[in-house]
Every structure is written in C-alpha cells, then in structure tokens.
Amino acid sequence: MQQQSILLLFLVLAGIATIVFVYVYLSSKKTEKSENGMSNPLKKRFWFSLILFVILGIFASVTIPKSPYYLFADENPAMVVHVMSRQFAFILSRKAIDPDKPSGEPIELPVNEVIEFRVTSMDVNHGFAIYDNTHRLITQTQAMPGYVNRLRYKFEHPGKYDILCLEYCGLAHQGMRSSFNVK
C-alpha cells in the first residue's frame, strides 16, 4: 500500500516535471523576437523557492516522527526474537544465540502484539527485511557485526512472513532467506 502511493506520487510529480520542461521548451520555439522572456524572474524565483521550502518542511516534520526508531518505543513488547545473520543464513530464536554454537528454532508470533527483533550479524553486513504474504516489503533493519539492532513491529495479519537479506553480502546473497508464522 505504501509503495503504491509512493510510486503514484513519483509518477505524478515526474509527469508534471516533464510537462513543465516540454512547455518551457516549446515556449522558446513559438516565441517572437520582441519578447523578453520571463517577467519578474527574481520575484518568481523567490516565491518558487519559498513554496518549495515550505513543502519540504511540512514533509520533514510529518515524516520524521514516523521513523522506525520511534515506533512502539513506549510499549512493552510481547515477545523478543533474536536474529543472527551470517553468510548465508538467518538464525532465529526466542533465546539468545551463541555465536560459537548458533542454533535456532521455528518461530511463531502472536498477531496484533508488539514484537521486538534483536538483529545482529556474525560476519558482514546483512539486511533483515520482512515480506508479508503478498510478497510486499513491510519493514527492515540492518544487521551489522558488533551491534544489535532492535526492530519493533506489530503484525496485524496472520500468515507466513518471509525474511529476505537485503544488504548485499556475497555470492549467495540472493538465496539468503528465512521465514516465520504469525498466528
């Protein structure tokens, strides 16, 4: 859903930009020698910049609080899932994972509860990306060696969710995946 509106917004804006450029180009073809071009360019420049500034400011202030670092920060997660990434597998477990003897188990998560994923890597940077059962990317975080990233999410629909590695990690990057169920 979010991606559809992003694509639509982009295509509309790109379309508008294209039309503007074509219009400006055509205006130069049709013009008479006596015309002086754009009137009041400085004033128009100022207003254009101001409007753009305001639009950007609005988008910034609306979208920044929606960043994943703030999501569900005040809540107690119902469950913690530990994720250990390595070339080329994800290991998921309800218990902390021993890097010397990594082992995981099938994960089943409750629906409509805040879940916290604690994601790290044993070797290179990986990407922990969750896809829902319509194969849409819904959230992600990076897995960086030496650090644990805490990703909180609430799954609103039951079903099977896939995990794909989204940060290029080597020759089997495209096959690195896992999954879990939400009930």
Q: Which of residues 53-112 bind another protein (CB under 8 A)?
A: 53, 56, 59-60, 63-64, 66-69, 73-74, 76-80, 82, 87, 95-100
Cβ 183 to another protein shortest distance, Å: 19
3 state DSSP class of 49: helix
> Tokens 């998560």 belong to which residue?
109
Beta-bridge partners for 178: 163
Tell me the C-alpha distance between 137 and 140, whole Å: 8
Q: 135 vs 183, which CB is nearer to another protein?
A: 135
E strands within 14-88?
A: 79-86
Which lies closer to another protein via its Cβ, residue 125 or residue 154? Answer: 125
Q: Which is nearer to another protein, 89 or 148 (CB)?
A: 148
The whole-angstrom separation of Cα 25 and Cα 37 is 12
Q: Binding of another protein at residue 166 (CB under 8 A)? A: yes
Q: How far is the CB of 3 from another protein (least distance, A)?
A: 4
Q: How far is the CB of 12 from another protein (least distance, A)?
A: 10
The first and second tokens of residue 32, run together, are 């008479």
**C-alpha–C-alpha distance, residues 89 and 132, integer Å:** 19
Which amino acid is residue 9, in one-letter code? L
Least separation in angstroms between residue 149's CB and another protein is: 4
Contacts with another protein in 117-136 (CB under 8 A)?
118, 120, 123-125, 127, 129, 131, 135-136
